[in-house]
Amino acid sequence: MGSDRYLPFLPIILNWIQQTLDAHAHERRTVSSFNFPRLPRYFSEGFLNAASAVLCDRLPVPPLSALGLREFADFENQPISGITYRDTYFLWRAVATDESLHFHELVHVVQWQVLGPKDFLLLYAAGLAESGYRDCWLEAMAYEHQRRFDAGDPPYSVEAEVQEQTLALKPTI
């Protein structure tokens, strides 16, 4: 799958992510503090209290092409509304009240938890390189769960389903 190509970059990217999280630690707020009416029907209270969001005017995206990963230039420059690192996601302030977007990013928080930072990044990079942003395995999963949420499907344990689906992807790394 080519994920070996990305191994040398992992320490640099993981360090960049940690520095970004540290720099914004004072701006973090728990997802539960947004008091969304539907999220608690899909995610546990403990999960919503542990996951955090940072509202910002510019999303922090790692300088992948500057590191020599030019195949991710499109990813760096695309107009996205949110990005997740570990248990924290960053959203544009303008979309802070979009419960569906929070839902999507929370799916990524579960994926980070299941895979851990190294495997999450390797799987995301391989999927992005192979299939593009929207069809990257981890994004496709998040968009499918978001579609179900937006369609008003009956509540279900997103954490359990995403955990199972993510573990099924793990051998592909």
pLDDT at 171: 66
pLDDT at 3: 65
A 10 A CB-CB count for 127 gives: 23
pLDDT at 2: 54
pLDDT at 5: 84
pLDDT at 173: 57
Contact 50, 30 (CB under 8 A): yes
What is the phi/psi pair of residue 79, to 5°?
-80, 90
What's 74's DSSP letter?
H
pLDDT at 1: 46
pTM assigned to the model: 0.95
The continuous run of DSSP H or E covering 7 comes out as none
What's 155's DSSP letter?
P
Q: What's the token pair of residue 25?
A: 């630690």
What is the chain's pLDDT, residue by residue, as a tens digit (173 residues)? Answer: 456 889 999 999 999 999 999 999 999 999 999 999 999 999 999 999 999 999 999 999 999 999 999 999 989 988 899 999 999 999 999 999 999 999 999 999 999 999 999 999 999 999 999 998 989 999 999 999 999 999 999 999 999 999 999 999 876 65
What is the phi/psi pair of residue 15, to 5°?
-65, -45
Range of the domain at 64: 3-172
What is the Cα–Cα distance from 7 to 15, expressed in whole angstroms? Answer: 14
Number of domains within the chain: 1
56 backbone φψ class: left, alpha, beta (φ>0; ψ -120 to 50): beta
Contact 158, 107 (CB under 8 A): yes
Tokens 């995403």 -> residue = 162
